[in-house]
Amino acid sequence: MNPLGTDLGIYIHIPFCDHKCIYCDFYSIISYENTEMYHKNLLREIELRSKSLFGRKVKSIYFGGGTPSFMSPEYIGAIINKITKHFDLDKEAEITLETNPGTVDKSKLIEFRKRGINRISIGIQSFDKDELKFLTRIHDSEQAVNTVLQCAEAGFDNISIDLIFNLPGQNSAKWRKNLEIAVKLPVKHISAYSLILEKGTILNKMVIDGKVKMQEEDIDAGLFEETMDFLGNAGFPMYEISNYAVPGFECRHNQGYWDYNDYIGFGTSAHSFVFPRRSWNYSALTFYNLHSENKDLPESGFELIEKEQMSDEYIMLALRSRGLYTHTYSKLTGRNFIEEQKKFLIKLKDSGYLTINGDLIKLTPRGCLLADEIIGKLV
């Protein structure tokens, strides 16, 4: 049993998509031929896994992909009903649906809301037409803005948008324009990610072939610092390296990951962590369906997390978000973090890279700029 609590987060992967963007490394299928078979097997997997997790309270559900909003409200609603039947779903659970501009309208959003969705995450990435073209997004700026407005009109108060910075050729003025548009919209949460290369993506091959040149690290750092300052001043303080929210609207589902809580992933390529076991499902839809139809769990592998790995993972997750609580570290590892890292922590504190308040150790904005380097030395 997880010493940090028994609450669960649930992730549902909907792999179907009508287009593969050049930077995307998530498992997705540009086809809608097997949606019903997949739906049947998803429901079966939920029922199978619930048998070993009886009585666990579910605090959040997150539909990711792919493009979950391409599915019908009935399709998504049936999954929520199945979870409700086989798990103890909290009455105040956060239930998020990812969507892309142009894939929903007001009437469809209203139907999603009726079936339990109470948070919308919109993959906008940019409001600039040239940047959208580079990213091979299929929407334009007007569609992006209209989708946010339609979500608000449909009754959603908890709306999040995704943006990407440090695109090739992007400067401070272009990025700031994106941020200025974002904060004027009725959104409560903004995820702002630096463009990174992932193996196997179209973008990675374009860079290898010399067709695209990524920007230097100092430009990336400058844009990140500007993001922290601008969004913080606009009422969206940073609560995780890539996430900013109006206080009270932080993503509870993702906080579960960062707080090292248990979570279950259903569907292709989904990962689960039920302390101290981590497992992952088959990515290929064919293998997922085959195992599910044989009434087996569609797992392709698992590992048991040893204390040293657990220590490293908690340090990384905690310092990237709300901070590292030394009592939590002790619960997980049985060790004293302050004593282990005393000299280095004092050096970081004196240099202005972190603060130590009681048992909470937290990176400062200056420390966040060097988060990877600091965490690398701590683990």
At residue 217, the pLDDT reads 85
Classify 11 as helix, strand or coil.
strand
Q: How many CA atoms lie within 13 A of 319 on its CB side?
A: 32
Q: Read out DSSP for 107-136?
A: HHHHHHHHTT--EEEEEEE-S-HHHHHHTT
In degrees and rounded to multiples of 5, residue 90 shows phi and psi of -60, 140
Among 296, 329, 333, smallest CA distance to 315 is for: 329
Q: How far apart (Å, rounded) are the C-alpha atoms in residues 87 and 24?
A: 32
At residue 22, the pLDDT reads 59
CATH number, domain 8-258: 3.20.20.70
Contact 103, 144 (CB under 8 A): no
Beta strand segments in the chain, E: 8-14, 57-65, 88-99, 119-125, 158-165, 189-194, 238-240, 243-245, 262-266, 271-274, 277-281, 299-304, 324-325, 354-357, 360-363
Among 324, 244, 310, 246, smallest CA distance to 275 is for: 310
Q: How far apart (Å, rounded) are the C-alpha atoms in residues 305 and 220?
A: 33
At residue 25, the pLDDT reads 65
Q: How far apart (Å, rounded) are the C-alpha atoms in residues 12 and 70?
A: 14
Among 159, 196, 193, smallest CA distance to 175 is for: 193
Q: How far apart (Å, rounded) are the C-alpha atoms in residues 195 and 343?
A: 34
Beta strand segments in 208-276, E: 238-240, 243-245, 262-266, 271-274
Strand partners, 277: 274, 304
Computed over every residue of the chain, the mean pLDDT equals 92
**pLDDT tens string 89-147:** 999 999 999 999 988 999 999 999 999 999 999 999 999 999 988 887 888 899 999 99
Q: How far apart (Å, rounded) are the C-alpha atoms in residues 150 and 361?
A: 41
Region of residue 357 (phi > 0: left; psi between -120 and 50: alpha; otherwise: beta): beta
Among 68, 50, 58, smallest CA distance to 13 is for: 68
Residues 6 or more apart whose Cβ sits within 8 Å of residue 43? 78, 79, 82
pTM, entire model = 0.94
At residue 27, the pLDDT reads 62
Cis amide leading into 276 (omega within 30): yes
Q: For residue 13, what is the DSSP state?
A: E
Residues 6 or more apart whose Cβ sits within 8 Å of residue 262? 2, 6, 7, 8, 9, 56, 273, 274, 275
Residues 6 or more apart whose Cβ sits within 8 Å of residue 102? 138, 139, 143, 147
Report in angstroms the alpha-carbon separations of 120 from 153, 231, 270: 13, 20, 20
Tokens 């600091």 belong to 374
At residue 354, the pLDDT reads 95
Residue 136, burial from CB neighbour count under 10 angstroms (0-12, 13-18, 19+): middle
Beta strand segments in 105-226, E: 119-125, 158-165, 189-194
Q: Could you tell me the two tokens for 197?
A: 């290369």
Query: Residue ranges of the domains in the chain?
Result: 8-258, 323-378
Residue 63, burial from CB neighbour count under 10 angstroms (0-12, 13-18, 19+): buried
pLDDT tens for the chain, 379 residues: list them.
788 888 999 999 999 887 666 566 666 777 777 899 999 999 999 999 999 898 789 999 999 988 999 999 999 999 999 999 999 999 999 999 999 998 899 999 999 999 999 999 999 999 999 998 888 788 889 999 999 999 999 999 999 999 999 998 899 999 999 999 999 999 999 999 988 767 777 767 777 777 778 778 889 999 999 999 999 999 999 999 999 999 999 999 999 999 999 999 999 999 999 999 999 999 999 999 988 887 789 999 999 999 899 999 999 999 999 999 999 999 998 899 999 999 999 999 999 999 999 999 999 999 999 999 999 999 8
